[in-house]
Amino acid sequence: MKTAKQVARAWSNWTGKMHTFTKMLDKKDVAYLSFSKISTLECCPQRYLLEYVERVKLRSEPKYLVKGWLFHEAAARLHRARMRSRRVSLDQLIKPVERRLGEGDANHVRNAIELMQREADVDWDVVAVEEPFVLDLGPDLPPCLGIVDLVLQKGDEFAVIDHKSGKKFYELDRLQLAIYHEYARRRYGAEQCAGYYDQYRWVNNLDTIRKPASRRTKAPIRKGTWNTVLRRVAKRYRQMMKIEQAGTAVGASDCWGCPYSDLCPKATFAYGGNNSWY
């Protein structure tokens, strides 16, 4: 197993982005963890097998993933402009989105970014935007890799924020922000640090909505949370090792929304998949 220091050193010498770095680690069979890996496993072990062990490529990226990526890119441009005390217009932020998406979907992203501009934490300084990290989890676990969407500071107080977008507000998992919180504590000495999920709902018209299109949720990160995180991560890592050694995994009962459903031999019939055995 490569140590966190070894992986961090390799990352410091890498000239590409984090997703190309993790692909390189995959090709070299270097073990690492991430919130995405853990959440995928907990959602469906079979999907974890397809995505991270067999590395099955999707025929095309689902539109909701593309919208999410473009939203994050626009949000990052907005926050980087704030960090440099520069102004950036909504039209400038949304232009790359409109080149990739149709009018309706691009409008969803535009409205979400407009809300983000309106609700910006102007009393806080932007410390980091889309910051990649390699986090040491201890001698018995591989390093954890990730990207923090946003780190803010006001005096001695810090905040780590993760952006979520979609058709509705979803139930959130504090694990992701607990990992970001621990990174900020080590990286910035952020002893007073809160974690927030900022969710943005896809809407067609901000002037006619009846329900809020954005919501901020504070993650309950308290003393002892990190020990709970490490126990959960260690348990999932043991499951990952079993799946990789066996080359097989159980499937979830509900395949709705899974991008691998049409490629998965264990997908339920109602939602597609390779169902030649029916």
pLDDT for 272: 44
What is the per-residue pLDDT for 253?
A: 73
CA-closest candidate to residue 129, choices 86, 91, 98:
86
Residue 174 · residue 194 · CB < 8 Å: no
Q: Which of 171, 196, 177, 183 is nearest to 119 (CA)?
A: 196
CB proximity list for 35: less than 8 A, separation 6 or greater: 144, 146, 175, 176, 179
d(CA 184, CA 195): 10
Instruction: Report pLDDT for 278.
Output: 26
Q: Which two tokens stand for residue 262?
A: 């049409």
Q: What is the pLDDT of residue 54?
A: 93
Instruction: Give, for all 278 residues of the chain, the pLDDT tens digit.
Output: 789 999 999 999 999 999 999 999 999 999 999 999 999 999 999 999 999 999 998 888 888 899 999 999 999 999 999 999 898 999 999 999 999 999 999 999 999 999 999 998 889 999 999 999 999 999 999 999 999 999 999 999 999 999 999 999 988 899 999 999 999 999 999 989 999 999 999 999 999 999 999 999 999 888 889 999 999 999 999 999 999 999 999 988 778 778 888 888 888 754 444 433 22
pLDDT at 269: 52
Q: Which of 171, 207, 217, 200 minimizes the C-alpha distance to 71?
A: 200
CATH top-level class for 61-242?
A: alpha beta
Q: Contact, 33 vs 145, CB < 8 A?
A: yes
Q: What is the pTM of this model?
A: 0.90
Residue 90 identity (one-letter amino acid): L
Q: Which of 42, 82, 72 is nearest to 165 (CA)?
A: 72
Sign of the dihedral defined by the CA atoms of residues 25, 29, 35, 40, in that order:
positive
Element (H, E) at 106: helix 103-118
Instruction: Name residue, tokens 């640090």.
Output: 193
- Rounded Cα gap, residues 41 and 32, in angstroms: 14
- What are the sequence ranges of the domains in the chain? 61-242
